[in-house]
A and B are shown apart, each in its own frame.
Chain A
């Protein structure tokens, strides 16, 4: 279908699709020649290097996560014991329930979810509408507006933190103070020029005849967007959605500044500000709980995330 050709254009598909392609045709030539690899010595070297790298990577990247999950099951003495133990000598699942109640993780999780999905909704509605308008409706001054949006990518984000914070304290014209309000997270999240750029590029690749046909049939621009553009754009919408959620989940400085009320904080800020007051093993359990949602998102949608990363337009 149309959507398929539009995605695989980037050729960054990983996982099953690549594997199937491998079976159909020979694997593309890389640095080391197949002939060299075919020799017994080549095979031996390959497997040694492979085993070392695979073991090293598992240790370096999974090791800390393993330490975190099991650390949450240990007693305080065992966590700070030297040398450390590989397995908890006795399992203390109550650390997890204690972290849940003492640090009020349910509230923090709920807050973060609320901010993340709100930001997602705002970005999907406003950024998609803007990208659609700039790509297909082409208003007067559209180019200038797009240029001004892209120009914001050139300004280092941290430079704007102070004036943005002052704006949140007292929004001009509306004269509202958005401190401790979810709007302080949601509205600035819309100003993501990279999203608009990604979406616009995708919309640009949708043939104009398709939209013209809809227009001849009497569909309004909104109807065309809903019935034709959005269904085709599902893959790019998925990428943008994941990045929107992960972005809020990972942010630290901005929520720390704009949500000082402990009851309204995000996981990152809340855990950080409570980190000195709780026992180490409970804190580690809390870190594990805080890591689960984004890790789950990643494991479920890793193919979209991987292809979205390279869709940023570094190379066609």
Chain B
């Protein structure tokens, strides 16, 4: 390790960084000046990030709360009290958006949570081509979302789309996919799962590789079969990661926007794919109702804060 050589003149004159000078006791004044200088340097390193956070993260957070209770009409901003919230509550699209978001979350968990786990368990058993298969699963994550989404639009097309060809091949009835309110959300979830399952799969794989093999051996000595080994060893051993990812996915899927927006222009047939975040988008950027958008955002924040709190507690316990 090549330590930097003693630089001449200016650099060596001030007391070096955070290292206490090895000589005798310094006067209180000297000590103070040194601490001050050290803090100025440290805050100098921090200032850029802190400014960015102030303008684009912390200030917008405060603004979100303020906006939710304000109303802007004809360029005049007034205090609105709870009227934004009650306005949002009385919008018929409100409950539909929450229902749709809940449906998306449940479907996405059934598919996007279970499928990667099963895939990871299977991949972990393979002694061949594991690298190749891992690469395949992660490939869609690297595509720009327009590419994956427009691809799926072609596959979903009721006329020439591949999915109906596959159903036809299996002698199953053709579907309208994105055009039918009954299947539109499922179609969005299938596309979304394909696009995003790579990340979860790789995290599960890493977790599975951390399970001590003796546990399986012990279970076999007790006469456990394949399913019992999964139930009594694999799942308990990965439970923490499973629950953390479950929470992360709930938080992420409840904020879904891009997939329904690109696949079904946001609303879908009969509003069947309108999600809460799309409603926020509509309020803010189609109706110019920032107050309503902020009030809706606040509600989403409250709902997700519960999940976040559980997540933080779980991840704390994982660090002990």
B182 contacts the other chain (Cβ, under 8 Å)?
A: no
Q: Which of A28, A148, A295 is the one whose CB lies under 8 Å from B143?
A: A295
CB within 8 Å of A: which B203-245 residues: 203, 206-214, 216-217, 220, 226, 229-230, 233-234, 240-241, 244-245
User: With A and B bound together, what is the CA distance between A211 and B1 in angstroms?
Assistant: 11
Q: Which of A137, A162, A287 is the one whose CB lies under 8 Å from B150?
A: A287
Could you tell me if B216 and A29 are in contact, using CB atoms closer than 8 angstroms?
yes
Q: Which of B139, B146, B202, B318 is the one whose CB lies under 8 Å from A298?
A: B139
B308 contacts the other chain (Cβ, under 8 Å)?
A: yes
Which residues on B sit within 8 Å (CB–CB) of A313?
Answer: 315
B59 contacts the other chain (Cβ, under 8 Å)?
A: yes
Could you tell me if A62 and B145 are in contact, using CB atoms closer than 8 angstroms?
no
B26 contacts the other chain (Cβ, under 8 Å)?
A: no
Q: What is the interface of chain B, defined by CB distance below 8 A to chain A?
A: 1-7, 11-12, 16-19, 38-39, 41-43, 45-46, 48-50, 52-53, 55-61, 63-64, 67, 121-129, 131-140, 142-148, 150-152, 154-155, 157, 159-160, 162, 165, 194, 199, 202-203, 206-214, 216-217, 220, 226, 229-230, 233-234, 240-241, 244-245, 251, 254-255, 257-258, 261-262, 277, 280-281, 284-285, 290, 293-294, 297-298, 300-301, 304-305, 308, 312, 315, 318-319
A110 contacts the other chain (Cβ, under 8 Å)?
A: no
Q: Which of A32, A187, A294 is the one whose CB lies under 8 Å from B125?
A: A32
Which residues on A sit within 8 Å (CB–CB) of B262?
Answer: 252, 272
Distance from B56 Cβ to chain A, minimum over Cβ atoms (Å): 4
User: With A and B bound together, what is the CA distance between A132 and B17 in angstroms?
Assistant: 13
Could you tell me if B46 and A134 are in contact, using CB atoms closer than 8 angstroms?
yes
Distance from B9 Cβ to chain A, minimum over Cβ atoms (Å): 10
Could you tell me if A287 and B147 are in contact, using CB atoms closer than 8 angstroms?
yes
Category for how many chain A residues contact B: 35 or more
Distance from B204 Cβ to chain A, minimum over Cβ atoms (Å): 10
User: With A and B bound together, what is the CA distance between A113 and B137 in angstroms?
Assistant: 26
Name 12 extra pairs, CB < 8 A, besides A30-B216, A156-B255, A188-B56.
Answer: A33-B217, A61-B137, A62-B136, A62-B139, A82-B159, A149-B49, A154-B308, A190-B53, A249-B144, A280-B154, A297-B142, A312-B203
Which residues on B sit within 8 Å (CB–CB) of A83?
Answer: 165
Q: A227-B4, A315-B240 are in contact. Are A216 and B165 (CB under 8 A)?
A: no
Could you tell me if B134 and A283 are in contact, using CB atoms closer than 8 angstroms?
no
User: With A and B bound together, what is the CA distance between A164 and B284 in angstroms?
Assistant: 12
Distance from A121 Cβ to chain B, minimum over Cβ atoms (Å): 12
Could you tell me if B203 and A314 are in contact, using CB atoms closer than 8 angstroms?
yes
Could you tell me if A126 and B56 are in contact, using CB atoms closer than 8 angstroms?
no
Distance from B6 Cβ to chain A, minimum over Cβ atoms (Å): 5
Q: Contact flags (1/0) for A288-301 with B, using CB distance below 8 Å?
A: 10110011011000
Q: A33-B220, A155-B301, A294-B143 are in contact. Are A130 and B49 (CB under 8 A)?
A: yes
Q: A137-B45, A162-B293, A250-B145 are in contact. Are A152 and B61 (CB under 8 A)?
A: yes
Could you tell me if B4 and A298 are in contact, using CB atoms closer than 8 angstroms?
no
Distance from A304 Cβ to chain B, minimum over Cβ atoms (Å): 13
Could you tell me if A31 and B234 are in contact, using CB atoms closer than 8 angstroms?
yes
25 A-B Cβ contacts within 8 A?
A11-B210, A15-B131, A33-B216, A49-B122, A54-B133, A61-B137, A62-B136, A82-B160, A126-B48, A130-B45, A130-B49, A133-B46, A138-B42, A159-B301, A160-B60, A164-B60, A210-B1, A216-B19, A217-B6, A220-B16, A223-B4, A227-B2, A252-B146, A268-B145, A275-B150
CB-based nearest A residue for B298: A159
